[in-house]
Amino acid sequence: MSRGSLHVIDDEPVIRDILEQLLLAEGYDVELSTSGEEALPKFDTASYDLVLLDLLMPGRNGLEILPEIKKIAPQTVVIIITAYASVESAIEAMKIGAYDYVQKPFKNEELLLTIERALSHKNLREENDRLREELRKKFSFSNILGRSKPMERVFELIRAAAPTRSTILVQGESGTGKELVARAIHTNSQRAAHPFVVVNSGALPPDLLESHLFGHVKGAFTGAVSEKQGLFEAADKGTIFFDEISTIGLETQAKLLRVMQDREFMRLGGTKTIRVDVRIIAATNVELEEMIEQQSFRKDLYYRLNVIKIILPPLRERREDVPLLVKHFLDIFAKENDKIVESVSPEVLQVLDRHSWPGNVRELENLIERTVVFAKNPVITREDLPELFGLSREATPAPVDFVAGADGLDLKEQTLAFQRRLIETALAKANGVQKTAAALLGLKPTTLNEMIKRLDIPAGNY
């Protein structure tokens, strides 16, 4: 098996013969040309991994040929062969696209090592390009599925916001795909080649969160045994995504505001100012305006974040997208589990359409994954649905007693009442184990725990 295709362009017969024998013995395919004029037409019918290009040749020299090779075959790596007197020209060649140069007379081992390094560099670059393209496809707008009017509005905002430098606030219930939107914005921005860093704001206590964000110097606090880079430094020239920014404490909010205003900060315990160029995308599943009224979120930080707001609709408000999402998840999980599961029955679609989807798209995704894993036939039937979906197998979801107040029905209160009822049902089925109940509901355990606290569900009240 060939180790790569190499093209030697050199006017000296002895050099061509030596290189041909050496490279063939190492397992490379070798093409030989005596001049640039002879070599260039060959690029129209063949591709080469690497070119060894002599700098000084009769007619057009290597400096003249190099730009044309890079134009015709930009992925091809070029190594310059030069005499000692032409080293400055070789360095000039590296400025216009050559990977490296070797001097005549060269040592065979050094030349082979340079070739191996160059090919490894080429393979790594191509692998990075491939992974970047996969990410672009995975987090492109087309991967955020939906044909409903609410989602069309979301797509319009993403397209408009992605190329800009503006800060973005993504608002939506848990499971609506806030991180997916943030990644799509990053991947379709000019920062796509740089890091996308996720900050799980609610998972860390304030002191630890500040250390994660800004880094610290050795001895800044007990346990700081060495200097540490923060997430803002790691995200330089890229994007930092704050998942559930509402959980950040007021003191950390103040420091975050200063970074947004000045684009600089100091590590914990440090005195050196560090400048960064980072785009901030923040997500929230609560109304920050209400938190401002409760004095638990800074108004000035909210205005800094709320430059462009993207509101993701809950799945219950875009039910026409359910069949599209079902098909998408069926394809993914059937392939992942090496199973033939092609569709769901019309009866199942009716059940899914009636469900309230408190866990939104994530709940639907988890449901489809589970049904695919246990499915025995190519078509998902009503019997394949998990036990919790007995709540929605009848004509409507679990009933809620609607009570009209003086001003009529309060939608927010009734929605909270339904969420409370559904969570209590799941907890009862899970014997009080929150992790199990979260899996039944299609929620993260941390999200369920937050909802239990917010809805003030006492322990054992189910």
Bridge partners, residue 275, by sequence: 264
Q: Is the pLDDT of residue 136 over 80?
A: no
C-alpha distances out from residue 446 to 39, 66, 217, 311, 453, Å: 63, 57, 31, 22, 11
Closest to 48 measured CA to CA, from 14, 13, 23, 25: 23
pLDDT at 342 over 80: yes
Domains and CATH numbers, the chain: 5-134 (3.40.50.2300), 139-313 (3.40.50.300), 316-392 (1.10.8.60)
In which band, very low, low, confident or very high, does the pLDDT at 428 lie, cut at 50, 70 and 90? confident
The first and second tokens of residue 266, run together, are: 């100091």
> By three-state DSSP, how is residue 288 classified?
helix
pLDDT at 140: 52
Whole-angstrom Cα distance, residue 387 to residue 345? 17
Lowest-confidence segment of 20-29, 267-276, 305-314, 403-412 by average pLDDT: 403-412
Lowest mean pLDDT among 21-30, 96-105, 397-406: 397-406
Q: What is the pLDDT of residues 117-127, one digit of tens each?
A: 999 999 988 88
Confidence of residue 455 (pLDDT cuts 50, 70, 90): confident
Orientation of helix 87-95 relative to helix 62-72, angle to 10°: 20
DSSP annotation string for 407-439? TB--HHHHHHHHHHHHHHHHHHHTTT-HHHHHH
Segment 370-389 shows an average pLDDT of 86
Give the per-residue pLDDT at 432.
81
Are 308 and 167 within 8 A, CB to CB?
Answer: yes
How many residues are present in the chain?
Answer: 462
CA–CA separation, 196 and 238 (whole Å): 6
Question: Is 239 within 8 Å of 195 (Cβ atoms)?
Answer: yes
Sign of CA dihedral 138, 140, 144, 145: negative
State both tokens at 221: 């606090």
456 or 374, higher pLDDT: 374
Taking Cα atoms as reference points, which of 456, 144, 451, 457 lies closest to residue 286? Answer: 451
Dump pLDDT digits (tens) for 183-227: 999 988 999 989 999 998 777 777 788 888 988 888 777 777 788
Instruction: Quote the percentage of the chain above a pLDDT of 90.
Output: 51
Q: Which of 167-176, 381-390, 419-428 has the lowest mean pLDDT?
A: 381-390
For residues 140 and 212, which has the higher predicted lDDT (pLDDT)?
212
Q: How high is the pLDDT of residue 410?
A: 64
**Model pLDDT for residues 282-325, shown as the tens digit of each residue:** 999 999 999 999 999 999 999 999 999 999 999 999 999 999 89
Is the Cβ–Cβ distance between 326 and 368 less than 8 Å?
A: yes
Tokens of 409: 């029905």
The winner for highest mean pLDDT among 200-204, 256-260, 387-391 is 256-260
* 226-248 pLDDT tens trace: 888 889 999 999 999 999 899 99
pLDDT at residue 100 tops 50:
yes
Helix (H) or strand (E) holding 3: none
**Mean pLDDT score of the chain, rounded to an integer?**
86
The pTM assigned to this predicted structure is 0.59
User: Does residue 50 carry a pLDDT above 60?
Assistant: yes
Q: What is the pLDDT of residue 460?
A: 62
Higher pLDDT, 85 or 420: 420
The whole-number average pLDDT for the span 255-261 is 92
Tell me what pLDDT residue 56 has: 87
Which pLDDT belongs to residue 142?
A: 57
Cα-Cα end-to-end distance for the chain:
66
* Nearest to 37, CA basis, from 72, 70, 68: 68
pLDDT of residue 130: 78
Can you spell out the DSSP letters for 334-377? HHHTT----EE-HHHHHHHHH---TTHHHHHHHHHHHHHHH--S
